[in-house]
Amino acid sequence: MTYKATNISFSYAGKKILNKASLEIQPGEIVTILGPNGCGKTTLIKILSAETKPDSGDVHIEDKKINKIKSAELAKMRSVVSQKTNMSFGFPVKEVVEMGMNPYDQKTTKESSSKIRKILEEYELEKFKNKNYLQLSAGEQQRVNIARSIVQLNQADTNQAKYLLMDEPTSSLDIHFQVKLAKNLKQLSNKNVGIGLVLHDINMALSISDRIVLFSSKKTVEFLEKPFWEKLPVSLSMLEQAFKSKFEVIRNQEKVFVTPSFKDVRS
Amino acid sequence: MLITSLIANLSIGAVDIEINEIISILKKSIGVTQGSSALTPNDVVLTSIRIPRILMGVIVGGSLAVCGCCLQALFRNPLADPGLIGVSAGASLGAVIGIYFNTFLIKISSIQASLIISFLAFIFGITISLLIFKISTKDGKPSVAKMLLCGIAANSLVGAIIAFFTYMSSDSKLRSIAMWGMGNLGESTWEKILICSLVCITCCFMLAKQAKLLNIFLLGESEAFNLGIKIEKLKKKIIIFTSLCVAVCVSFVGPIGFIGLVVPHAVRILIGPNLKSLIPFCFILGSILLTSADLVSRTISIPSEIPIGIITSIIGAPVFVYLLIREQDRVFQ
């Protein structure tokens, strides 16, 4: 019962983007992908979501090959928050969020309306609900996209395995909404939703993840397992290699924080 | 507005007909009332000229607007119009070839010649748009950007071929080619209306059925795919139905500019981008615009007529610029 990518290789314009990368997300697990720019994180999310076909390797959900699953069925099993949206013609916020119901082909019911209202409240979008999406700030648009993807998951049958893939969902969010999203993701994982996240914030990854997958620019993939506070000092060299930067580790009881070293900048 | 425009079209023209007389002629022609069996000149004007012309205006105006609206959604570009997929250019080429070789169409009536020209326009329109579709498709996936560029190239190439035929034509053919290129509802017959309404209304209905999916497509291709839309199937449907519909319209009435571009734009500003309501409103406004333009073209210089393409461009271009200036912040975010 997993979301599994095995030995994924992918090249673009003659450049190897992914080299036999593998990843597994269990139901209820939060797996975060960390790595430098251009290492293939977004490509992996696109391959996991079936939007992009890999050159070699397979993706399975619940032992079914992803390209054998009908697109409408797939949309009930996983929802995706892309790094950026490319909307043309601005729809009102509420209509964009309601589009999350598309895979279910059902008319708006009291129950679905109340779910949508809750999500709009959760992400503080009530006051914008009739506003043109294109007139919102980048952060507000990101909240709308997150809300839409959660509506897509919430409509699904509770017995069905559900997965959420998010590519840099916090890139435009302020601290308040980053914390809100982190809480929300924990709640979803407690409801057995498997979550695959691409983040640049190492500390958020350490706080919410069950596992961290570290991509390096040399196309190698390493795994950081829990408890991070114990294992991170050992894995620090991996992080430093991946990001070509020095890090400092701050430990506070059972918590661990990582910060890039700005020593050179200060001097 | 549509009803007012239709009544004005029925009543006003080289011969003005009172509304009471229009009602009695209509009743007589559908057999509700018995009258003298002899046809009056006004009977002929109304049933053989004005009604076919109005119906053609309603169908073509509405269809071009609906196709423009769906193509703008497909290309996700507010400046897309039916001309972009090469169908209008192809149809024009077919018509020009038909007019040029008209003397070889031995001893046939002018109605048959006109149907042959329409048939050639339809075949060329569909062929060019299918060719563009084929070139832009790789591994079964049509690339919208490539299609746009191929459409521009096809328009340019076809323009050159038409210019060549125009250059080689005699004065009378030159006039026919020029007149055809400016659009004309005057040659509408009941046969043409039957074919046109069957094809166009079916296509518009099929396009309207895709409204919900097209709305989601407007979020972006990745989002649409992630929400369970079969993107390639949707693109193919839109391209096939719009090509078919525009090819039929252009082949019967000639290329009529601006309706497919301006109407969706104007309606979107009035009621928003949701295609579920945009498509029916586009059909209505497209019909109003084309029948009103036809009324102006028929009456502005009685007894002669100004080609309808001139009127739609004269009305359409300033309205379009006005809308752009008024709504530029909202539309071009």
B330 part of contact set with chain A, CB < 8 Å = yes
pLDDT score, position B64: 93
Rounded CA separation B72/B76 (Å): 5
Q: Inspect the interface and report whether the beta carbons of A89 and B229 lie closer than 8 Å.
A: no
**A79 φ/ψ angles, rounded to the nearest 5 degrees:** -125, 155
Rounded CA separation B302/B171 (Å): 25
A216 part of contact set with chain B, CB < 8 Å = no
Q: Are A129 and A171 in contact (CB under 8 A)?
A: no
Q: In the structure, what pLDDT confidence band is assigned to residue A78 with cuts at 50, 70 and 90?
A: very high
B79 part of contact set with chain A, CB < 8 Å = no
pLDDT score, position B272: 87
pLDDT tens per residue across all 333 residues of chain B = 777 777 777 677 667 777 777 777 667 766 666 655 666 776 766 677 788 888 999 999 999 999 999 988 888 777 777 777 788 888 888 888 888 887 555 455 566 677 787 788 888 888 888 888 788 877 666 677 787 888 888 888 988 998 898 888 888 888 878 877 787 787 778 888 898 899 999 999 999 999 999 999 998 888 999 999 998 899 889 988 988 888 888 888 888 878 888 899 889 888 888 999 999 999 999 999 998 888 888 887 777 778 888 888 888 788 778 777 766 655 444
What is the token pair recorded at A106?
A: 């059902």
**Which of A74, A88, A103 is nearest residue B77 as measured by Cβ atoms?**
A88
Rounded CA separation A185/A207 (Å): 11
pLDDT score, position A65: 92
Q: In Å, what is the CA distance from A93 to each residue of A90, A130, B168?
A: 9, 6, 57
Q: In Å, what is the CA distance from A111 to each residue of A115, A117, A151?
A: 6, 10, 12
Which of A53, A61, A83, A88 has the most B C-beta neighbours within 10 Å, making it the best mutation to test the interface with B?
A88
Taking alpha carbons only, the member of A185, A107, A101 closest to residue B228 is A101
pLDDT score, position B108: 54
3-state helix, strand, coil in chain A (%, to 5): 40, 25, 30
ipTM of the complex: 0.89
Give B54→chain A minimum CA distance, Å. Answer: 33
What is the token pair recorded at B58?
A: 């309603």
Q: Hey, is B3 helix, strand or coil?
A: helix
